[in-house]
């Protein structure tokens, strides 16, 4: 297949490389001068999109997605699929999908989880929104770039699933970190805390698979000085998207809102920027109630 790939950053570059390695003809475009193994670079987004059967975008945010979509939609071939894998707000995903559908294209919003490691290894999870036909057209590419793709529903459903998942993740990570900090102050050994909680009703992915306490549980960024992993900055981005969506849908999300405020303070006023999102534990450790 002829694939256009726009946005070849930390995630997009290895995803595009995997598609090329699997034998597809990939034409890429990025604002930055980037070279990717097996990918021919075009001099504009339109140049990458014009001849493609499928165009994939992997961009920083909804505003940039809008501007790229504006440019490429009129240039794309009728019936081509437009798969946006960026994490953007649900409203932008729906607007771009409507614009693409009106132009005779097959839009899919398909944000991912799995991070840079998953992008390189081809083990991402895709959460997709769009028509069944569009999802089926995109599915063989999801299989190359990932290990699992869930068709979540109509346009925007992929972004909705992604931000709901990450809102749970942000909240449970904070809950896990504050519980460890409380356990410390109560004189409870961290390993004992893990042994109990990881097999009791307080268990979660944050505790069991990504334990924020160094030296406890499976290997995680806490064992590596809280180098990301999943940066606190990206968690803040996703939490803000969850609150933007909650605002737009009139949903009451008090814990999501509080988690957003805590990560905003951590990233913008404390030392959280560039650290893994589980570095909330050393933050809580240092604090008292005041
Ligand atoms: P990145 O900043 O490394 O890459 C974005 C790329 O888009 C850059 O190379 C940039 O030059 C390019 N770009 C910006 N504006 C452009 C334009 N108008 N035309 C063409 N290219 C343009 O970001 P990333 O880490 O690759 O993340 C991409 C998306 O994936 C984001 O939406 C992010 O939230 C999401 N995501 C990231 C991770 C992660 O761990 N990094 C995990 C899951 C989802």
Q: Cβ(87) to ligand 1 under 6 A? A: yes
Mean pLDDT estimate for the chain: 97
Per-residue CA distances from 177 to 64, 107, 198, 219 (Å):
34, 39, 14, 16
pLDDT, residue 52, reads: 98
Q: What is the pLDDT of residues 255-281, one digit of tens each?
A: 999 999 999 999 999 999 999 999 999
Cα of 216 from ligand 1 centre, angstroms = 32
In this prediction, residue 123 has a pLDDT band, given cuts at 50, 70 and 90, of very high
**Band of pLDDT at residue 158, cut at 50, 70 and 90:** very high
Report, as an integer, the average pLDDT of 148-164.
98
Whole-angstrom distance, CA of residue 27 vs CA of residue 5: 6
pTM for the complete prediction? 0.95
Q: Is 179's C-beta closer than 6 angstroms to any atom of ligand 1?
A: no
Q: How many residues are recorded in the chain?
A: 290
The residue-averaged pLDDT of 237-264 equals 98
Residue-wise pLDDT for 62-74, tens only, equals 999 999 999 999 9
Mean pLDDT, residues 162-178 taken together = 98
* CA atoms of 109 and 84, how far apart (whole Å): 5
Percent of the chain exceeding pLDDT 90 equals: 98
Q: What is the pLDDT of residue 38?
A: 98
- Cα-to-centroid distance, 201 and ligand 1 (Å): 37
Average pLDDT, stretch 74-87? 98
Interval 126-148 mean pLDDT: 98
d(CA 222, CA 48): 40
Residue 290: pLDDT band with limits 50, 70, 90: confident
Q: What SS3 state is found at 146? A: strand
Q: Give me the helix-helix angle, 157-185 and 90-102, nearest 10°.
A: 160
- 9 CA to middle of ligand 1, Å? 5
pLDDT band (50, 70, 90) for residue 59: very high
Nearest CA to ligand 1 atom 4: 9
Q: Is the CB of 115 under 6 A from ligand 1?
A: yes
Query: Whose alpha carbon is nearest atom 8 of ligand 1?
Result: 9
Average pLDDT over every residue of 176-184: 98
The residue-averaged pLDDT of 87-102 equals 97
How are beta strands 124-130 and 146-153 bridged, if at all? Answer: parallel
Distances from the Cα of 102 to the Cα of 94, 160, 278, 280, angstroms: 12, 22, 43, 45
The number of helix segments (H) and strand segments (E) in the chain equals 12, 9
Top mutation candidate among 4, 6, 7, 72 for ligand 1, by most atoms within 8 Å of CB: 7
């Amino acid at each position: 297949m002829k694939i256009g790939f726009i946005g070849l950053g930390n995630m997009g570059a290895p995803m595009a490389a995997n598609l090329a390695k699997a034998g597809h003809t990939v034409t890429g475009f990025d604002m930055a001068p980037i070279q990717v193994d097996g990918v021919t670079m075009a001099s504009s987004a339109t140049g990458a999109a014009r001849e493609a059967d499928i165009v994939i975008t992997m961009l920083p945010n909804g505003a940039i997605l809008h501007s790229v979509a504006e440019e490429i939609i009129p240039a794309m071939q009728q019936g081509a699929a437009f798969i946006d894998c960026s994490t953007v707000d649900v409203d932008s995903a729906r607007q771009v999908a409507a614009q693409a559908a009106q132009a005779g294209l097959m839009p899919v919003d398909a944000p991912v989880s799995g991070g840079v490691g998953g992008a390189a290894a081809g083990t991402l999870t895709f959460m997709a929104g769009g028509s069944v036909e569009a999802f089926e057209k995109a599915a063989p590419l999801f299989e190359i770039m990932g290990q699992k793709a869930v068709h979540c529903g109509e346009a925007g459903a992929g972004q909705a699933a992604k931000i709901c998942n990450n809102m749970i993740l942000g909240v449970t990570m904070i809950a896990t970190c504050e519980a460890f900090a409380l356990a410390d102050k109560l004189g409870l050994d961290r390993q004992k805390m893990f042994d109990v909680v990881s097999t009791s009703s307080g268990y979660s992915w944050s505790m069991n698979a990504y334990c924020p306490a160094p030296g406890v549980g499976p290997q995680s960024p806490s064992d590596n000085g809280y180098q990301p992993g999943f940066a606190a900055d990206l968690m803040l981005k996703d939490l803000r998207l969850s609150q933007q969506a909650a605002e737009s849908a009139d949903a009451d999300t008090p814990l999501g809102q509080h988690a957003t405020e805590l990560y905003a303070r951590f990233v913008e006023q404390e030392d959280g920027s560039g650290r893994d999102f589980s570095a909330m534990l050393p933050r809580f450790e240092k604090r008292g109630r005041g």
